[in-house]
């Protein structure tokens, strides 16, 4: 009986995984099709004859008849705008992740291991801020950035992203599981709080820090609202904005650009999968 349930559960999970992976598989395989093959495979209701032919309403093709890499050439070499916006995304996301990891780890250390008056109330405030949707803080952020003269500057994107509350929450929940005996032993050896943070806490929090870096990278790599509102120069837009308009061009280029856009996120996940699972699982443990 147990084995039958296990087999059924395995089959169900495999089917679910295939359904979830299907859009990714379709995007990758279609990126190697020519524009003509894609248009002939995916019929649209663009004229009266197609409206009468209901059989052409839905069509999916996964295996290309002739493999073509012209769209990758067009995207990476012929169209300089794609690469410029790709590096715009890199220049935006890298400092956001680096600063957020540093600031969040220091704040989490204070909230988890140092007792002071009003600590719990302040941390509760962090939780409330974390639960607020981005749209709630959009107007105040814009007003502050405008007063600082940072509108249409990369710092208008970096500062709000780097000081997010989620990183403090995640690392605090992770660091609170670290036994206090490690800190007491370090104090006996004469270590200061700074040395304890860098020599004891950070090495033991490697899983949580990696989890935060991965989640922060993915979140900021996909940002759309912030650049549209805080940046006026389209030449400063990240790649996530460019993808929303790329369908106006050849659909083959759209598939190729989507694949290239996904590569950094996929590599980040594959490289840090174990750290991500470890960090998230430990962040939910209560002592």
Residue 45 counted as domain residue: no
pLDDT of residue 100: 93
Structure tokens at 210: 């990696």
User: Low-confidence residues of the chain, pLDDT below 70?
Assistant: 1-2, 41-61, 246-250, 275, 278-287
Per the domain annotation, does 57 fall within a domain? no
Residue 225 within any structural domain of the chain: yes
Per-residue pLDDT of 148-180, as tens digits, reads: 998 999 999 998 888 888 888 889 888 888 888
**How confident is the model at residue 132, as a pLDDT?**
80
Given this model, what pLDDT does residue 241 score? 85
Structural domain includes residue 39: no
* Report field, pTM of the whole predicted structure over 0.85: no
| DSSP annotation string for 59-127 | ----S-SS---HHHHIIIII-HHHHHHHHHHHHHHHHHHHHHHHHHHHHHHHHHH---TTHHHHHHHHH
At residue 20's C-alpha, the angle toward residues 206 and 133, to 5°, is 60
* 191 is a domain residue: yes
Tell me how far CA of residue 241 lies from CA of 59, 67, 76, 137, 221, in angstroms: 28, 28, 17, 21, 10
Q: What residues make up the domain containing 145?
A: 77-283
Spatial CB neighbours of 103, under 8 Å, sequence gap ≥ 6: 162, 163, 167, 168
Q: What is the CATH number of the domain that holds 208?
A: 1.10.3720.10
- For residue 249, the model assigns a pLDDT of 58
pLDDT at 285: 43
Q: Is residue 14 part of a domain?
A: no
Report yes or no on 132 lying in a domain.
Answer: yes
As for how many domains the chain has, the answer is 1
Asked if residue 91 belongs to a domain, the reply is yes
Residues whose CB falls within 8 Å of the CB of residue 68, separated by 6 or more in sequence, listed in order? 32, 33, 34, 37, 252
């Amino acid at each position: 009986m147990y084995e039958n349930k296990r087999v059924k559960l395995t089959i169900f999970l495999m089917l679910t995984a295939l359904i979830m992976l299907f859009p990714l598989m379709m995007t990758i395989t279609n990126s190697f099709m020519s524009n003509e093959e894609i248009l002939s495979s995916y019929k649209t209701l663009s004229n009266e004859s197609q409206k009468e032919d209901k059989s052409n309403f839905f069509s999916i093709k996964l295996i290309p008849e002739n493999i073509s890499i012209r769209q990758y050439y067009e995207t990476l070499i012929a169209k300089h705008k794609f690469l410029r916006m790709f590096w715009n995304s890199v220049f935006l996301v890298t400092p956001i992740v680096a600063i957020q990891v540093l600031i969040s780890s220091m704040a989490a250390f204070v909230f988890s291991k140092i007792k002071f008056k009003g600590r719990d109330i302040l941390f509760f405030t962090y939780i409330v801020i974390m639960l607020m949707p981005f749209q709630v803080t959009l107007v105040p952020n814009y007003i502050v950035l405008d007063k600082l003269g940072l509108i249409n500057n990369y710092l208008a994107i970096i500062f709000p992203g780097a000081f997010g509350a989620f990183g403090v929450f995640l690392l605090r929940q992770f660091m609170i599981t670290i036994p206090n005996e490690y800190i007491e032993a370090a104090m006996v050896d004469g270590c200061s709080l700074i040395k304890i943070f860098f020599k004891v806490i950070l090495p033991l929090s490697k899983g949580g820090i990696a989890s935060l870096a991965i989640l922060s990278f993915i979140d900021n790599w996909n940002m759309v609202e912030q650049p549209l509102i805080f940046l006026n120069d389209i030449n400063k837009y990240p790649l996530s904005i460019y993808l929303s308009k790329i369908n106006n061009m050849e659909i083959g280029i759209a598939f190729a650009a989507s694949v290239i856009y996904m590569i950094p996120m996929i590599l980040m996940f594959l490289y840090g999968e174990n750290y991500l699972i470890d960090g998230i699982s430990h962040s939910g443990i209560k002592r």
